[in-house]
Structure 1
Amino acid sequence: MGIMGFLRERMGKILAIFIGVALFAFIVSEVVRSGGSFFKDDRNELAEVNGEKVQLDEFNKKLDQNTNQFRQQSGQSISPQILNYVQETTWNQVISELLLNKEIEKLGLTVGDDEAAAMVTGNNPDQQITRVPQFADQQTGQFDKNKLNQYLSFISSAKADTAAKHQWGEFLKQVFEAKQKTKYMAIVTNGLYVNSLEANDDYQAKNKLVSFKYATLDYASIPDAKVTLTDADYSAYYDAHKAEFKNQQETRSFDYVAFNGSPSKEDSAAIKAEVNKLVDSIKVSTNDSLFVQINSETKTPLVFQKKGAFEPKLDTLMFNAAKGFVYGPYVSNGSYKIAKLSDVKTTFDSVRTRHILINPQIEGGIEKARAKADSLKKLIEGGRPFTDFVANFSTDKGSAVKGGEIPSFDVNGLMAGGQGQITAEYANAAFKASKGSLIVVTSQFGVHLIQVEDQKGSVKVIKVAVVDKPIVASSKTQTVAYSKAQGFLAALTKDNFDDEAKKEGVKKLTADDVAGTASGLPGLDNAREVVRWAFKADKGDLADKVFTVGDQYIIPRLTQIKPKGILPLDVVKKQIEPAVRNEVKAKQLNEKFAAALNGSSSIDQVAQKVGTKAVPVQNIVFANPIIPGQAGAEYKVVGSIFGSQPNKLSKPVNGQQGVFVYIVDGFTNPAPLTNNLRQKQQIAQTLIQRADGHVLDALKDNANVKDNRAKLL
């Protein structure tokens, strides 16, 4: 009874503890399964490099900077493929900086106060400072130390705002960090040494000649069907080449089917009919710009354009038509379109300007930037030279060294000589203004104070109002395709994927070795969600939902996981099968050549016995192991030749394309290397040029990197 009473009194606590333990175990198991952390929020942890964390938000800041820089420099829109490239570039940049900074810290490399001062204000400032356009003489373009000193006085005064001081401080930080990295690489490159033996070997490899005759039996001479591969054959090849199967990053492969939800013929006909109804309306429209804004999918502003600005057929039609002419409906770039010649005029062929670009972020907003531009405009109109303000106020450092000059451009904004293109806002304002006038214009780059210097030539320009309606699938078409995909998914088990694909009449597609950061798949531009799923799934898993990728409905099945590191034999077995088959064929061909060599005294006899011809070759160098008549380099064969004695039949040598037997006719030695200094310098220069990349590769290979990009990006 005592025990029963004890239990009755404490049963509530016992149950609470039991439930608590069970609940904790459940939560922990879920955390372990999902790869997260119960005790800390790791949703923002993009990576961990040798214990140092890379936060997602910090990475995204750098990614945004690099993306904007790419957009400005290339003028391209950011497609999924380009974004993937910029992400990878940013990742390598971040990882490299972390690893290098760690090495610099270990070695205690610093930039002292005196050294820092010398880099900025000394007799020979750092190159990054001397290359700043703001510190260049406007006439010569050369560095002007007086301009640097003026800026340093300004930045240390009360006149300089916080943003400008911060910007200068960040710039100097980059300069000093670059100096530290230069010191580190100097330690590495100073340790590179080329001795006389290496110099002579390099000279001989590039200049010693060999002439020989060879006979070869191609691997292709034995049909694949007559070769049986054993597990021992695979294992032998794998063990001999294991280092070649190092996977630099985890990849995954999956099969998938795609149900097509693209527009049907009925969808296309319905959209064409819709556009047809607009033809009569646009003909009588008195405000074509408003008509486009109301009826067009693409709200392109109507601006005057010169010949060549439109797609070829439309360009030819419109420049030979009368005002009011309407063309269409026609199909272009996946849309039905109609086009109307809205206006025609003759204008200048080109305009030459100069400008001062003011950054709203530095000034505290667009209004303050425009206010500064207006103030400068009044000073210039009052008699102050335009060039007096360019160096100190323009953030366009490329034009600032030329007094703000911009190459002349046409009505489309295209600069002379293919030097680039300016924004539409800038071009439109410059063509509307009169020669010599000062205008203030806002564009994506900031606020421009523009002076129109010259307007030349005469050219016909036109305005064309284009109304487009994309040819897209109707909801009915999409519903039918999605329903088929859902039905396929519902019928799936882990064993019937292929059978169901055949039953539905859809082709099974394969995505091999997909990286965790991939944004697309073959034929599918933006399949990031599918890739994320693949990197959370286990081998053999089926998706638990239908993925929408463009107008396709995707159902994937994960087929293979290749982890980072040396891949096991079963993972690379299919990949190495051709090479293994060639090795087995090589054994048969070796036996054939061995029999032919028995009793033969010349390469011609050997060739005749095996049913081929001996081929003479002259003047081959070790550094370029190309044998005429053979596809690709034959490193092993040529290496063997240079290690042979003349006039002696070789044993069979397994090459890339087949098995070879050869005889060396003779070597032609180059003149002795009397002064190897130049040879040493050439080799050393090559080593130094490669040092940066090799150092970073070595640091990455030895680093412990936890990469969460597949889940977070």
Structure 2
Amino acid sequence: MGVMTFLRNRMGIILVVLIGFALFAFIASEVVQYGRSFMSGDQTTIGEIGGEKIPYDEFNKRLDQNSKQYQQQFGQNLTPQLTAYVQNITWNQFLTQTLLTKEESKLGITVGNDESYNMTHGANLDPEVARYFTNQQTGQVDRDQLNRFLASIKSLPASDPTRAQWSLFLTGRIEAKRSERYLSLVRNGLYVNSLDAKDDYENKNKLANFKYIALPFSGVADNKVNPTESDYQAYYDEHKAQFKIPNELRSFEYVTFNAAPSKEDSLAVKEQADKLAADFKAAKSDSDFVQINAIDVANKAELKFQKKGQLEPKLDSVMFTVSKGFVYGPYLSNGSYKVSKLVDVQTGPDSVKASHILLNPATEGGLPKTQAKADSIKKLLVAGKSFADLAKMYSVDKGSADKGGSLGTFGRGAMVPVFEDAAFNGKPGEIKIVTSQFGVHIIKIEALKGSAKVVKVATVDRPLLASSKTQSLAFGKAQSFLSNANGDNFNAEAKKEGLVIKTATDVDGLAMQTPGLDNAREVVKWAFKADKNAVSDKAFTVGTQYVIPHLTQVKPAGTLSLDLVKAQIKPAVINQVKAKMLAEKMDAALNGASSIDQAAQKAGVQVVPLQNIVFANPVLPGVAQENKLVGSVFGSQPNKLSKTIKGDQGVYAFVVDGFTNPPAMTSAVRQREQIQQALIQRSESQVFDALKDKGNVKDYRAKFL
């Protein structure tokens, strides 16, 4: 089998387990964030883990490898969002490698040479290796196929990059095995006893019936409450742990100057498209015309027949009702004026059932030799040889080869154009040879299903871009604003110019976008280099806008000061003050009251009865979650009027009517298993978080990426 086929198919695994247990990083609910001001560190270190420096050039080399592997695996270019995703994968690889390797070394966790050999040669194959070489029909590992692959790897010269990729794959599998053993030790240390199971069972099944009265915070207008500094300080001290952030955050405001195409620009491009439409109608060779005149690379791609519903809506409603040669447009679509021509129309099958044998020119001595081999295989097939046997023997597409070459039944759009044209324009039993970017295919058409009208449409385009005049006008306004604005008068200048000030709050140093800015990386990088109250010395180009930012706030990593969270906690502090005010009223209503009804009458509120409330779901129907109230209910005796309870939505008093105990738990085994499974799921991320905290991770990526 082809070595590169295996490695290409395994690239997703290589990407994740390339360095140890990188999967571990993705189990966590959040991507690792950096913990100190990004201005720390030197100019060549992108991060530190437990005092061990990560050189930027080493990180960048790995990042480049991962980016190429991602593109190869998924066949798409990296958008800014995907770039950030791969950057985080790469960082997590370094992080997990260092943190877990240290812990594994302390515990003496190893994978010996004999065990490593056994992963690819022995009775206990690595699961990923075994899965790939398993015969789909028998469910057993095809040892002959595995041995041929291993022999082909061994025969390659030491300098061959394929050998390096195979070594990289094995390294990842070995590291994954070590890390799994470490995790197993953690999981085996988790224990749930019968008392834990009993408490959990009762918390979910014991029912409480009670009545309560409430004085809601909403009954007091916010403008009637004036919190003091001591109120803010008291709330801050009580909730200080909530204000610890793992990474530095910055906030900025900004103004934009629109450089999008004007009406005049649109008319000018429309005129170009009108001329293009006239020329397209007169074109003798549609394919040549598209190759010369299309701007979008996608429009230059090989044309294929499409059925109704596969064209974009504007074309889909037209091209199935007109004759061959019809030209539609110009029409505006995805930021371009487009002109489309109906190149061909026919009635064809909806789907095809087919098989193929794929030959790789790279391993067959070039394309001519590969085509000659394909002709020989075709002759064998025509002479009556089994397609399934020859597919297993020769095809480098092992996914289909294991099924006798079968690709199953597929519709239009599932295959590359040249393959699709051959398959959909043949007859059952016909054998064809075509060449695509994947190699040389020997195709056997087994069945044609359904019938529908299909069309082949060619498109040329002219992007709707702003003219230099439009851009210069917007840029000039931006420069004029820059010459007058500074940190002290930014808002005043914006107001004078009639500009809308937008805000980006608590931005992370690695953010690729912010609200209102889809590709804000350069703006964010500026924000993390600037001093507080600084205004950028240039206008950033973001899409069709010129953006001028003003840095308004810096929140360093660690526990935020009261000043930095004061605006954030203001609503909660106001409610805390309301709680004091309303508690006095509730205390007065409870004083001397012998029943909940008397207290309600004195407080001027209604008694609310509730039934079948459980401790594990402390929600008041129609109100909100009230942990303190429900917790107090389950800690009280029936028929006893409570004291005032300060909750999250108001202050309360209650009386318990009674409890309904659940049936006795017949067996704690299942309950213990459920709790233990939940603990195990949480442990994987929590262990990693603990290692990060202990590992003194410092992330300086913001100044490089």
Scaled by the length of structure 2, the TM-score of the pair is 0.86
User: Which position in structure 2 is the counterpart of 1:509?
Assistant: 502
C-alpha deviations, 1:523-545, integer Å up to 9, x for none?
22112111110111111111111
1:280 to 2:278 alignment: yes
Q: Describe the shift of the 1:35–1:653 C-alpha distance in structure 2 as closer, same or farther (beyond 3 A).
A: closer
Aligned match of 2:23: none
Q: Is 2:187–2:683's contact at 8 Å kept on the other side of the alignment?
A: yes
Quote the offset at 1:440 in angstroms: 4.9
Report the secondary structure of 1:403's partner residue: coil
Q: Which amino acid aligns with 1:477?
A: T
* CA shift digits 1:364-410 (9 cap, x unpaired): 8xx95646744652552353755556567766454343234323333
Q: Does 1:313 align with 2:311?
A: no
Helix, strand or coil at the partner of 2:141: coil
Asked if structure 1 preserves the Cα contact closer than 8 Å seen for 2:378 and 2:442, the reply is no
The alignment status of 1:174 with 2:167, answered yes or no, reads: no
1:296: which partner in 2? 294
Displacement, 1:355?
4.1
Alignment of structure 1 residues 281-680 onto 2, 5 Å: 281-299=279-297, 300-301=299-300, 302-355=303-356, 363=362, 368=365, 370=367, 373-374=370-371, 376-378=373-375, 380-381=377-378, 383=380, 387=388, 396-411=397-412, 413-414=413-414, 422-428=415-421, 430-431=423-424, 436-443=430-437, 446-454=438-446, 456-457=448-449, 458-631=451-624, 633-680=625-672
Judge conservation of contact 2:248–2:556 (CA < 8 Å) in 1. Answer: yes
Report if aligned partners of 1:380, 1:386 keep a CA contact under 8 Å in 2: no
Name the SS for the 2:636 alignment partner: coil
The question of whether the paired residues in 2 share the 8 Å contact of 1:541 and 1:558 is answered with yes
Tell me the secondary structure at the aligned position of residue 628 of structure 1.
coil
1:214-256 residue CA offsets vs partner (Å, 9 max, x unmatched): 1112111110111001111111111111111111221110011
**What is the CA deviation profile of residues 78-126 of structure 1, one whole-angstrom value per residue up to 9, with x for unaligned ones?**
4323433343344334423331122112222111233334444443433
Q: What is the SS of the residue equivalent to 2:533? A: coil
Which residue does 1:96 correspond to in 2? 96
- Name the residue aligned to 1:213: 211
- Counterpart in the other structure of 2:268: 270
Change in CA separation of 1:702 and 1:665 when aligned onto 2, cut-off 3 Å:
same
Aligned partners of 1:216 and 1:658 also within 8 Å? yes
Counterpart of 2:541, as a letter, is T
Structure 1 residues 48-70: Cα deviation after superposition (integer angstroms, max 9, x where no partner): 21123334455455545655666
Q: Contact 1:193–1:684 (CA<8 Å) still a contact in 2?
A: yes
What is the SS of the residue equivalent to 2:319? helix
Percentage of identical aligned residues: 54
TM-score when scaled to structure 1?
0.85
Q: Which residue of 2 aligns with 1:110?
A: 110
Measure, in 2, the Cα distance between the counterparts of 1:599 and 1:448: 93
Letter aligned with residue 335 of structure 2: G
Give 2:29's aligned residue: none
Which residue type is aligned with residue 596 of structure 2? I
Between the aligned partners of 1:36 and 1:93, the Cα distance in structure 2 is 20
The 1:164–1:585 alpha-carbon spacing in structure 2 relative to 1, beyond 3 Å, is: same
Displacement of 1:166 in angstroms is 4.0
Aligned equivalents of 2:139, 2:157: Cα separation in 1: 27
TM-aligned CA deviation for residue 199 of structure 1:
1.8
Q: In the alignment, does 2:159 pair up with 1:142?
A: no
8 Å CA contact 1:271–1:471 kept in 2: the answer is yes
Q: 1:324 to 1:651 in 2, by over 3 A?
A: same
**C-alpha deviation, 1:356, in angstroms:** 5.1
Supply the distance in 1 between the matched residues of 2:288 and 2:197 (Cα, whole angstroms): 75
Structure 2 residues not aligned, in runs of 5+: 1-36
* Structure 1 SS opposite 2:570: helix
Q: Deviations over 1:649-702 (max 9, x none)?
A: 111212221111111111112233353233222211221222211111111222
Shift in alpha-carbon separation, 1:554–1:668, aligned structure 2, 3 A: same
- Give the 3 Å change call, closer, same or farther, for CA 101–370 of structure 1 in structure 2: farther
Q: Distance in 1 between matches of 2:561 and 2:637?
A: 41
Does the 8 A contact of 2:135 with 2:402 survive in 1?
yes
The answer on 1:233 being equivalent to 2:231 is yes
Partner of 2:20: none
Q: What amino acid maps onto 2:333 in structure 1?
A: S
Deviations 1:256-307 (A, max 9, x none): 1001111111211222222223333222222222223333332514433222
CA–CA distance in structure 1, aligned partners of residues 186 and 38 of structure 2 = 44
Question: CA, structure 1 residues 368+522, in 2 after alignment: closer, same or farther (shift >3 Å)?
Answer: farther
Q: Is the 8 A contact 2:39 2:703 kept in 1?
A: no
1:692 aligns with: 684
- Number of residue equivalences: 660
For structure 1, the residue ranges without an aligned partner over 5 or more in a row are: 1-31, 415-421
SS in 2 for 1:601: coil
| Mapped contact 2:38–2:700 kept (Cα < 8 A) | no
Worse-superposed segment, 575-584 or 345-354: 345-354
Q: Which moved more, 1:351-360 or 1:446-455?
A: 351-360
When residues 55 and 368 of structure 1 are mapped into structure 2, their CA distance, relative to the original with a 3 A threshold, is: farther
Aligned AA (1:407): G
TM-superposed CA distance for 1:74, in Å, is: 6.7
Task: List per-residue Cα deviations over 1:400-423 (Å, max 9, x = no partner).
Answer: 432343233334x23xxxxxxx33
Q: 1:476 Cα deviation (Å)?
A: 0.7
Q: Please tell me the residue identity of whatever aligns with 1:289.
A: S
- Any conservation in 2 of the 1:377–1:438 contact (CA below 8 Å)? no
Quick one: structure 1 residues 137 and 309, their matched pair in 2 at CA, closer, same or farther if it must change by over 3 Å? same
Q: The residue matched to 1:317 in structure 2 has which SS?
A: coil
- Alpha-carbon separation, structure 1, partners of 2:73 and 2:611: 50
Question: Residue 252 of structure 1 aligns to a residue in which SS?
Answer: strand
Local SS of the residue matching 2:592: coil
Counterpart AA for 1:81 = Q
Q: Which has the larger radius of gyration?
A: 1
With 318-327 and 72-81 compared, the bigger mean Cα shift is at 72-81
Greater mean deviation of Cα atoms: 688-697 or 527-536 = 688-697
Aligned to 1:418: none
| Cα shift readout 1:478-533 (whole Å, capped 9, x = no counterpart) | 10110000000000122100010011111011001111111112222112111110
